[in-house]
Structure 1
């Protein structure tokens, strides 16, 4: 599926939040996601992910692809997990009645997206886990787009 900027987002103050699959595709040479990151960077659109998502997406077997990894990360803002993000992620997990490692990083990414929305950005999460993200982000101003 080709990710496209959601139609409801105006051209200014856009932020796209990449989950593990979106980040992996972009760093492993997926043309669509790679071009998307490049175009967003050129247009001044923020592309972010969490530091934990970096760990989730890292594949040491992709050694020859480190140039693509480095290039992609040079165009992405990394949001580090601090107390505010952790607290919001815990709140999201509690509200969704979820726990454990299966949902922890997704809840952190949702907290990052909500933090971006709080600063006034129009935010979309590019994710392969649409159902999980809906558990955390339904009823919020954050759009969810499948990759």
Structure 2
């Protein structure tokens, strides 16, 4: 499998599908995270991504091990208000897109360049514009 090239330094953000695939040892996502780290990029997730990605069959020890290698970004009132503004600007409703908006808001605050591993390319383009490079998984 050909590896995708990531920029030097910066931040790699995983959305829930990215985290789910990392937990499942998906070859593409594992390679993207390894390449990002080798280039000096920090791998991060939003705290809400954990909630969205975890399910009854999630192996808890594997989850703890994977999370130990990621920076988990907390979500407070300021981040929630900022994510709400992203939703309004994009014309999206929080009921369906709340976690996507929080992930996008977190990505927009990270050290650039920012690359996001996501299965929601269309939604993330609406929320992040061209300020975050999106990699589909």
**Shorter-normalised TM-score: what interval?**
0.7 to 0.9
The residue that corresponds to 1:45 in the other structure is 41
Any idea what SS the aligned residue of 1:61 has? Answer: coil
Number of residue equivalences: 137
Q: 2:92 and 2:102 mapped to 1: Cα distance?
A: 13
Correspondence 1:86 to 2:108 = no
The residue that corresponds to 1:100 in the other structure is 94
- Identify unmatched segments of 5+ residues in structure 2: none
After TM superposition, the score normalised by the length of structure 2 is 0.88
Q: 1:143 and 1:72 mapped to 2: Cα distance?
A: 23
1:124 aligned residue (115, 121, 131):
115
1:59–1:5: structure 2 CA closer, same or farther, 3 Å change rule?
Answer: farther
After TM superposition, the score normalised by the length of structure 1 is 0.82
- Identify unmatched segments of 5+ residues in structure 1: none
Kindly report structure 1 stretches of 4+ aligned residues shifted beyond 3 Å.
Answer: 38-44
Correspondence 1:24 to 2:20 = yes
Any idea what SS the aligned residue of 2:109 has? Answer: helix
The residue that corresponds to 1:69 in the other structure is 63
Any idea what SS the aligned residue of 1:126 has? Answer: strand
Q: 2:43 and 2:5 mapped to 1: Cα distance?
A: 12
